[in-house]
Amino acid sequence: MNTARLILDPRRRVAPVPRRLFGSFVEHLGRCVYTGIYEPGHPTADADGFRGDVLALVRELGVTTIRYPGGNFVSSYRWEDGVGPLDQRPARLDLAWHSLETNAFGLDEFARWVDKADVEPIMALNLGTRGTAEAVELLEYANHRGGSHLADRRRDNGAADPYGIRLWCLGNEMDGPWQVGARTAAEYGRLAAQTAKAMRRFDPTLELIACGSSHFGMPTFGTWERDVLTEAYDDIDLISLHAYYQPVGDDLPSFLASAEDMDRYIDAVTAIADSVGAIRRSTKKIMIAFDEWNVWYQSAAPSTPPSGEDWPVAPPLLEDHYSVADAVVVGGLLISLLRHSDRVTAACQAQLVNVIAPIMTEPGGSAWRQTIFHPFARTARHARGTVLDVLRAGSTTSTERYGEVDAVDAVSTWDESSGEMTVFLVNRVLATPAEVTVDVSGAQLAAIIECVTVGGADLDARNTPDGPDHAAPRPNETAHRAGAGVRLTLPPASWTMLRLQATEATL
């Protein structure tokens, strides 16, 4: 059996838990919008055509922000097509996913949907086929109170009050050769800076995200961030990171340790951003928006878009059906994001419904939770207050991709107002349980509130419409008081949440 010892002390604080860390992503891709969040005629649909069963699951999932409308889709999107009377909206070819976009769902519908879901919108701008002028026009339509042409157009379309969108993405993956309108770092950096300056003339308090590298393995990684920030450092607030994970062959040990890659990626971009700031002698810190992350089986058939003369409406695309192993990895990635909460202040799991998503639907039928729903929902609900700097010691395990890594990964949060200390743990070892000692140093432990685990058996199990709870969290009965702390056993390849009631010790 592997062992681990964790030392938790409320005085060792990383940063407040950023509520925007628990964001998601809605793109006009596959069935994410149509028959996902929007399906007029569905038995649960409301007057706006929004599926009530999906809205209920979104609230249960606990997402705090939604990035929209893309993704690759945004780089040739005309936002004007998605506002105004439905019978006057044009259908357009979507060059990103080789589909036909009806524009039955657009900005006005999205604004009504996020209001009903009680989440904050994040708006992505088309800096692929469009530029600064169109970005400012969209900002005026969305956020100006009235008296201008575009603000009055919004009011005529039924929205008297501005949408008040605070967080904006200046394009999407502009370094990617697959992107419509891809640019060099210098070209994009200048355009991002110019667009940011113009948007701030309307509202200097907006929060703006520049595109970082599309992924850690891009050949231009590092130089892209450096060159973009050299152009736009003073004009933007955050830089984006994107990462997707899947097993490579039969290498499950490395897959279970995917958070190692996320840790290194965040640390690398932080160092690059700080180096640009140091050269500029700036006291400003560029924060990170990890606004696309998830498990995605990119080589699988569902990830292949249509081709040729086939331009279908909302074809099934990227509909991965997630396993217990995938849920354990998602839980580990959330640990990494929390651990870096001093710099990662926004994140979006991609995507929300049907497309590499925690929620699946049947057209006209049911909606259900995928395995990855559970670690996200539990973390979003119980990671409150402040992230603690967890001191770790114990066994390591060998991986092909990342070398020797900690067998048990963990992070903890401390909610001073409620006295709740929550520990999130992953046993990365495929076949061996781990005995973990949690030393609650600096606090007085009062009680174990709850301990639940996902994993430990049948890593290939999946949830289905007929078996929606095959991979739900189960009580972990091994957690017990041990002196001033807690001892528990983590099953092999598992994610666990331990909730404790404690009071901070006085000096």
Q: In the CATH scheme, what is the code of domain 18-382?
A: 3.20.20.80
Q: Which positions ≥6 away from 33 have C-beta within 8 Å? A: 26, 27, 105, 314
List alpha helices for 52-167, DSSP H: 52-61, 107-117, 132-143, 149-156
Neighbouring C-alpha atoms within 13 Å toward the C-beta of 405: 24
The answer to pTM > 0.75 is yes
What is the SS3 string spanning 323-338? EHHHHHHHHHHHHHHH
Q: Does domain 2-10+386-504 sit in CATH 3.40.50.2300? A: no
What residues does each domain of the chain span?
2-10+386-504, 18-382
pLDDT at site 432: 96
Catalytic site residues?
173, 292
DSSP string covering 474-494, please?
EE-TT-EEETTEEEEEEPSSE
Rg, the chain, Cα only: 23
Q: Which amino acid is at 56?
A: A
pLDDT at site 356: 97
Give the separation between CA 135 and CA 127, rounded to whole angstroms: 8
Residue pLDDT, tens place only, 219-257 = 999 999 999 999 999 999 999 999 999 999 999 999 999
Q: Which of 405, 340, 337, 334 is nearest to 372 (CA)?
A: 334
Q: Mind listing the pLDDT tens digit of every residue in the chain (507 residues)?
A: 899 999 999 999 999 999 999 999 999 999 999 999 999 999 999 999 999 999 999 999 999 999 999 999 999 999 999 999 999 999 999 999 999 999 999 999 999 999 999 999 999 999 999 999 999 999 999 999 999 999 999 999 999 999 999 999 999 999 999 999 999 999 999 999 999 999 999 999 999 999 999 999 999 999 999 999 999 999 999 999 999 999 999 999 999 999 999 999 999 999 999 999 999 999 999 999 999 999 999 988 777 889 999 999 999 999 999 999 999 999 999 999 999 999 999 999 999 999 999 999 999 999 999 999 999 999 999 999 999 999 999 999 999 999 999 999 999 999 999 999 999 999 999 999 999 999 998 899 999 999 999 998 899 999 998 888 878 899 999 999 998 899 999 999 999 999 999 987 754
**To which residue do tokens 């039955």 refer?**
104
